[in-house]
Amino acid sequence: MRDIRIAAAQFEARDNDKAHNLSRIDALTKQAVSEGAQIVSFHECSISGYTFLQHLSLEQMRALAEPVPAGPSTQALINIAKAHDIVVMAGLVESCEGKLHNTYIVVGPDGFICLHRKLHTFIHPDLTPGNQFTVASILGVECGFLICYDNNLPENARMTALMGAQVIFMPHVTGCLPSVMPGRGTVDPALWHNRHRDPARLRQEFDGPKARQWLHRWMPARAWENGIYAIYTNPIGVEGDTIKPGGAMILDPFGEVIAESRALDDDVVVALCTGEKYELASGRRYLRARRPELYDKLVEPHPPGTEPVSQPGWKRAFEK
């Protein structure tokens, strides 16, 4: 792996306002470049908005969706990449051959590079899950992609690492949601809207088990056990009918946080990801120590009538 400077961004996206969201992506990309970044990553469905999708009809979803790479948002993203001479990554709802996907797009100054379709969709019943892992060589670095829920299953990060990923981009829309876990739950919107007068109370919410503490239970493990850099992005502020905690961060292959946003606003953090750390990481040894002959149970198909189900720990708008 070569040394590379990567940026993780957070911003308050607007539902179904692609022009506004792309303008924020443009501004934050410019900021990332000013701090030396060569790649900038944005959150899941950062172009379209995400949580509000659960309230849309199939017709409304189709109207929102775009083909990739031919659609206007991908072309706008390419223009941003060209203007700032950087690789840009962002998400939207994709339409392809009659199907809808939660898709993460990667573009550079020379055009479209690749996409990843979310493997574990749940926000809308008409989204079709992706059917493959994604690893692409970008600026001389092997980059993998897992969208939000994809990262909750250790098998997905392990498979992506086994395919050669040195960096895994992990765009999310998460945190501050109803949960049976102790201490978790939603954040009062009044705290967000009053954040400039009383930032301490909102920071306490974001730093506790509703957001940062929960992430730090498992996300460092994904980086450490696979010996990869993990690039976490997440919106901040109003997102659909929720408040999101941001917390954009970059973790090294030892599971250490090397850059993290503490801003209660749109922000970008940048870190140098080095080949030296990647080569020395414990996870690299663990990959070589595997004994696949013992893992038959991992690849057994689900019994008939118990097909895979990706379900959040909260009730969606379309559920009775």
Residue-range domains of the chain with CATH: 4-299 (3.60.110.10)
Determine the distance from the C-alpha atom of residue 300 to the mean position of all C-alpha atoms in its chain, rounded to a whole number. 28
Query: How many Å apart are CA 14 and CA 47, to the nearest integer?
Result: 9
Query: How many Å apart are CA 67 and CA 62, to the nearest integer?
Result: 11
Q: Tens of pLDDT along 182-194?
A: 999 999 999 999 9
Q: Tens of pLDDT along 211-258?
A: 999 999 999 999 999 999 999 999 999 999 999 999 999 999 999 999
Instruction: Quote the tokens at residue 203.
Output: 């920071």
User: Over 90: is that where the pLDDT of 148 sits?
Assistant: yes
Q: What is the pTM of this model?
A: 0.97
Q: Tens of pLDDT along 63-115?
A: 999 999 999 999 999 999 999 999 999 999 999 999 999 999 999 999 999 99
Closest by alpha carbon to 44, among 272, 267, 232, 260?
Answer: 232
Q: With cut-offs at 50, 70 and 90, classify the pLDDT of residue 320.
A: confident
User: Over 90: is that where the pLDDT of 306 sits?
Assistant: no
Q: Put the strands of the sheet holding 257-260 in their side by side order.
A: 135-138, 141-145, 167-171, 229-233, 249-251, 257-260
Quote the pLDDT of residue 196. Answer: 97
The stretch 275-300 carries a mean pLDDT of 95
Quote the pLDDT of residue 140. Answer: 97
Q: Where are the alpha helices (DSSP H) in the chain?
A: 18-34, 58-64, 72-84, 154-162, 189-193, 199-207, 212-226, 275-280, 282-289
Q: What share of the chain is helix, strand, coil (3-state, %, to 5)?
A: 35, 25, 40
The answer to whether 265 touches 31, Cβ cutoff 8 Å, is: no
The stretch 9-30 carries a mean pLDDT of 98
The stretch 204-211 carries a mean pLDDT of 97
The answer to whether 165 touches 253, Cβ cutoff 8 Å, is: no
